[in-house]
Amino acid sequence: MLSTVMAPHSIAFIGTGVMGRSMAGHLIKAGHTVHVHNRSREKAAALIEGGAVWHDTPGSAAAAADFVITIVGFPADVEQVYLGEGGIVASARPGAVLIDMTTSSPALARRIAQAAAARGCSALDAPVSGGDIGAKEARLVIMVGGDEAAFAKARPLLEIMGKNIILQGPAGAGQHTKMANQITIAAAMLAWAEALVYAKRAGLDPARVLESIGGGAATSWSLVNLAPRALAGNFAPGFYVKHFLKDVRIALDSAAELKLDLPGLALAKQLYDRVAAKGWEDCGTQVIFRLYDES
């Protein structure tokens, strides 16, 4: 099903967790050759069955490809796979485009871009929003940082995985945009959780309150999608608390570098730290409601 306007590429795909698995699957379906690596091989099994080529290290996968896409866990993992010994930057072919789709640090994205440039490669930071469903349905929001030439080369591949794909600026700008996304979400999570616990304590039916407030000036994606789950006692992860806390920490560090005081974000961090201290790190972010409800 290869698009008639694009020749097939060799693509290394590092990180085949819930998100990466769907994304790499779309690339295979589009007719590209995909070289995969993941910390645990089992999570790549379905892709290998579907035609992906397994590699034991990120560097080995990268050496086989024109494009290297990564979506791993924490900034430390990003640093390791790109800049570690035998990592992507050391192994990539000259001219390769390296695309980190992990939500990670803007400063690290700039360091990777510099290291890549020194090796004759280009790098993009291209974190996503839209969760497992967005990945599955290939309608991720992709926020890109890097130079225009690399973006132009990568764009046809990004379009196989997402819908809203915008070059936000130079290296790091994609991560900064993702941070803006997470900052917008953070305090807004407290907002609806406080509203619903207030409604409950006031003796109202919070589900009925949602019917009133969900259609007006108070409405938001989280109110419509996450508040009903929280009210139903469903704290299963759409988006994990532990991953959200990672993002919030990166955002606070990045704001501190910019000498910017973000009290709403700082408060969200405090409360999600309490959520984590309760042992709810593997719940979905809507578990913030439970923190209020039980206190």
- Name the one residue in this structure whose structure tokens are 């695309």: 99
Question: How many angstroms from the chain centroid is the CA of residue 84?
Answer: 21
Contact yes or no for 162/96 (Cβ under 8 A): no
For position 137 contacting a copy of itself by CB under 8 A, the verdict is: no
Contact yes or no for 227/285 (Cβ under 8 A): no
For position 52 contacting a copy of itself by CB under 8 A, the verdict is: no
84 vs 169 by CB, closer to a copy of itself: 169
Contact yes or no for 90/118 (Cβ under 8 A): no
State in angstroms the smallest separation of the CB of 138 from a copy of itself: 14
State in angstroms the smallest separation of the CB of 268 from a copy of itself: 8
57 vs 184 by CB, closer to a copy of itself: 184
14 vs 179 by CB, closer to a copy of itself: 179
Fill in the amino acid letter for 116: A
For position 294 contacting a copy of itself by CB under 8 A, the verdict is: no
Strands 128-129 and 122-125: unpaired
Residue 163 designated active-site: no
188 vs 276 by CB, closer to a copy of itself: 188
Fill in the amino acid letter for 215: G
For position 198 contacting a copy of itself by CB under 8 A, the verdict is: yes
Contact yes or no for 165/144 (Cβ under 8 A): yes
DSSP state of 98: E
SS3 168: strand
Q: Among 22, 168, 245, 247, which residue sits at the site for a copy of itself (rule: CB under 8 A)?
A: 168
Stretch that binds a copy of itself, among 33-41, 78-86, 90-98, 265-273 (CB under 8 A): 265-273
For position 181 contacting a copy of itself by CB under 8 A, the verdict is: yes
Closest CA to 82 of 71, 72, 90, 74: 90
For position 18 contacting a copy of itself by CB under 8 A, the verdict is: no
99 vs 195 by CB, closer to a copy of itself: 195
State in angstroms the smallest separation of the CB of 121 from a copy of itself: 24
Strands 128-129 and 140-145: antiparallel
For position 274 contacting a copy of itself by CB under 8 A, the verdict is: no
Closest CA to 102 of 71, 145, 129: 71
- Phi, psi dihedrals of residue 13, rounded to the nearest 5°: -125, 115
3 vs 225 by CB, closer to a copy of itself: 225
SS3 262: coil
Binding mask 220-239 for a copy of itself (x = CB under 8 A): xxxx-x-------------x
Q: How many other β-carbons are positioned within 10 Å of the β-carbon of residue 109? A: 29
For position 83 contacting a copy of itself by CB under 8 A, the verdict is: no
Q: Among 216, 233, 279, 294, which residue sits at the site for a copy of itself (rule: CB under 8 A)?
A: 216
Tell me the site size for a copy of itself, rule CB under 8 A: 69
DSSP state of 50: T
Contact yes or no for 12/20 (Cβ under 8 A): no
Task: Give the binding site for a copy of itself (CB under 8 A).
Answer: 106, 129-131, 134, 141, 143, 164, 166, 168-169, 172-173, 176-177, 179-188, 190-192, 194-199, 201-206, 208-209, 211-213, 215-223, 225, 239, 251, 254-255, 258, 260-265, 267, 271, 295
State the catalytic residues.
178
